[in-house]
Amino acid sequence: MRDGCGRTIDYLRLSVTDLCNYRCRYCMPTEGVCKRNHREILSVEECAEIAEAAVRLGVKKIRLTGGEPLVRRGILEICRQLRAIPGLEELCLTTNGSLLSELAAPLREAGVDRLNISLDTLRPDRFHDMTRLGSLEDVMAGIGAAEAAGFRDLKLDTVLIGGFNDDEIGDFLHLTMDHPWEVRFIELMPMGPCASWDKSCFLRGAEVLKRYPALQEIEPNGVARRYRLPGAKGTVGLISPMSHEFCSECRRIRVTADGKLKGCLHSREELSLRGLHGEALEEAIHRGILQKPRQHHLGERPSDTPRTMNQIGG
Ligand code: SAM
Ligand code: SF4
């Protein structure tokens, strides 16, 4: 269906937990989040009910996210139930990759079509420093397991952070020479812990093109502008929410793990879907879509949302 600005909305990002086994410095506070009573978090049945209502309203693609979706109990059952929804064309999942060694094959069997794996650095010490808890080795093994399980067109999502990983752009690009992956550089957005970080951390996506002029532009995909190095098996994506205004092309809505519909990642506006069923649920989602904000205001001020990224679903 169309929102109040005439944009087609066909993409739902559904967060299945706000918990995570990492504590990435830009995303989560050191102490993590207060563990909520599990009744505050959408049940498997509620996830499926919301997804079904969204698909009836025209959603064709769902991405499961979090927090870390793979720490959610019942994640495979959620995938199975969502995959069985008639009319859903694509079921995707964004993960930090840490648990893929065990879960890639079951996820594939449960019907997940595509995976995005977040990976901000290729250096083990930096990886541990940024995630505070993680091991690069686990993620690299997870990427291998995903390929072995039959996931094609893997996307590796790298948040570009000045002074942290901008000296690794070349190493990430190099990965695309031998692997059919899409390495995507994402601009850091000022929200949660990183809202107060120094300006120098917030690099523009264009920095990648400036440093690597050999990148040749290819067709875009959604909000990602895409490139390829000559002779490379894989591709490079630039997702630039800060410097490239793509709100007019935004097709997504989000539902947080506590059941709030958000039309925009950066808006304070939320609409509770808890306790709604059938037509009432559909009407609420419809209303949320109609009220989707025209654009964010990151060019003028930090994100308006009081939530951290793991509490929304990135
Ligand atoms: N835990 C999973 C993961 O890391 O892939 C899924 C949730 S995580 C919040 C989704 C994505 O949001 C990750 O790629 C993460 O790097 C990104 N992210 C978190 N905070 C961000 C920020 N302030 N700006 C840009 N991307 C951010
Ligand atoms: Fe966890 Fe993903 Fe946030 Fe890192 S970016 S703390 S992996 S939710």
In tens, the pLDDT along 190-224 reads 998 999 999 999 999 999 999 999 999 999 998 89
Q: CA–CA separation, 88 vs 33, rounded Å?
A: 32
Stretch among 114-118, 169-173, 238-242, 305-309 having the lowest mean pLDDT: 305-309
DSSP strands (E only) in the chain: 11-15, 61-65, 90-95, 114-118, 155-160, 182-187, 216-221, 224-228, 235-239, 252-255, 260-262, 271-272
Question: Which residue, judged by its Cα, is nearest atom 9 of ligand 1?
Answer: 314
The answer, yes or no, to whether any atom of ligand 1 lies below 6 A from the CB of 189, is: yes
How would residue 110 be classed by pLDDT, with cut points 50, 70 and 90?
very high
pLDDT tens by residue, 13-60? 999 999 999 999 999 988 777 777 778 999 999 999 999 999 999 999
Q: Domains, the chain, ranges and CATH?
A: 11-312 (3.20.20.70)
Average pLDDT over residues 254-271: 91
Tokens of 256: 């947080």
| For the chain, percent of residues with pLDDT exceeding 70 | 100
CA nearest 255: which of 69, 27, 37, 20? 69
Distance of CA 214 from the midpoint of ligand 2 (Å): 32
How many CA atoms, within 13 angstroms, populate the side-chain half-sphere of residue 122? 13
- Which ligand 1 atom is at minimum distance from the Cα of 27? 20
CB of 90 within 8 A of CB of 61? yes
The answer, yes or no, to whether any atom of ligand 1 lies below 6 A from the CB of 186, is: yes
The answer, yes or no, to whether any atom of ligand 1 lies below 6 A from the CB of 97, is: no
Residues facing 62 on adjacent strands: 12, 91
The answer, yes or no, to whether any atom of ligand 1 lies below 6 A from the CB of 95, is: yes
Residue with tokens 């649920």: 281
